[in-house]
Structures are given as C-alpha cells and as structure tokens.
Amino acid sequence: MTELLNVEFEDETGTVRRLRRDELLIYVSVVSGAGNETTTRLIGWAGKVLAEHPDQRRALVDDPSLIPQAVEELLRYEPPAPHVARYVTRDVEYYGRQVPKGSVMMMLIGAANRDHRQFPPDGDVFDIRREPRQHLTFSVGTHYCLGSALARLEGRIALEEILKRFPEWDVDLSQAKLSPTSTVRGWETMPAVIG
C-alpha cells in the first residue's frame, strides 16, 4: 500500500500526479475483496487436495513446520485464479510466433504452474516437500499481487487451525459443486466427513 500512496504517474491529460483519495479507496476495495475470495477458495482447495493426499495431510499434522511450504504447493497446484488476460505492450516473438503490440494474451496460470520443466520431475504431482520454486499464482512484475503476503499468512493460519481441530477428513466429491465463476475458481459446496 505504501507504493500506492507514493507512486507518481502521468495521467491521460499529461499531468504527473499521485492517486487521489477516491482512486486509492478503489484499490483498497479491490485488494480486500479479491483477497477475501481467493483466500476462501485456497482453503477450499486445501480441503480437497489434502483429502486426496491423506499421507501428506498426516505429515502436516505431525510436523506443522511444513505448513508454509504446503501453502506454497497448494497455491501452485490449485491456483484460485487460474488464468489472466494481458495486453501486449510491444511486438514480441513467443515460441516462434509473432505477437503484435496491442494483442490480448490469455495466460493459463494453472498450466504454467504445472510445467514439468519448472516443477520437476512432474508438475502434475502434489508434493508438500517439493523444492520451492517461483510459481505464477500471484503473477510477476508490475502485476504482482499486492495481497500475496496476506494470502500466504491467512492460508497458513487457516491450515494450522483446521489441522489442529480436524486432523482427519474426507470429502464427498460426488456431492461437491464448483462455483460458477470465470475468474476465481473454487467450491460452492464440498461436503466433508470429519473422522
């Protein structure tokens, strides 16, 4: 937020200025709203994935120091926002194809996060002990998520508390229903059996 308060930019009239109060409030609203929904979705995915990998869930119960690494792996493996669109700001060549300035590119974060070259030996495998590497769940560069540290903190605390209270569970995927949204992926319902 400090960067938002201090950033200077040239607006559409050519004036160099800082964000006005009303513009800052819009950013705060977007960040708080986006962070709330994506963190909720992260927790839902944690429930599903750890039910599918009970050995790794038990490892987290036995050794809570693994939880921060597990949160990173969950963010990589099932990103709450699996795709993003960006305008191309200059002509580029991408894998032998010319992409002209002004084009719109859809980036599939979920696919990139499972790239076997970046996440060897197999990016399609969930592994809380995977060697940490940069994933694209929070984007990179100028579009890097302002709420990434908060999302990680909330994910860690939620997982710590859930595992303390409910070390064993299973989910009934036959009764689960994905939420009908195009930007943030998660569960509308996912019945769980606590054991």
Task: Write the CATH number for 89.
Answer: 1.10.630.10
First to last CA, the chain: 42
Residue 147 lies in domain: 2-194
Would you place residue 150 in the very low, low, confident or very high pLDDT band (cuts 50, 70, 90)? confident
Looking at residue 63, what is its pLDDT? Answer: 98
Res 3: pLDDT: 76
Give how far Cα 27 sits from Cα of 20, 35, 137, 140, Å.
11, 12, 20, 18
CA distance 145 to 31: 9
SS3 75: helix
pTM: 0.83
pLDDT classification of 34: cutoffs 50, 70, 90: low
- Res. 6: pLDDT tops 90: no
Number of domains in the chain: 1
Cα 61–chain centre separation:
23
Our CA angle for 190, 157, 30, nearest 5°, is 75
Indicate the pLDDT class of residue 1, thresholds 50, 70 and 90. Answer: low
- Residue 153 host element (H or E): helix 148-165
Flag the least confident range among 1-5, 127-131, 140-144.
Answer: 1-5
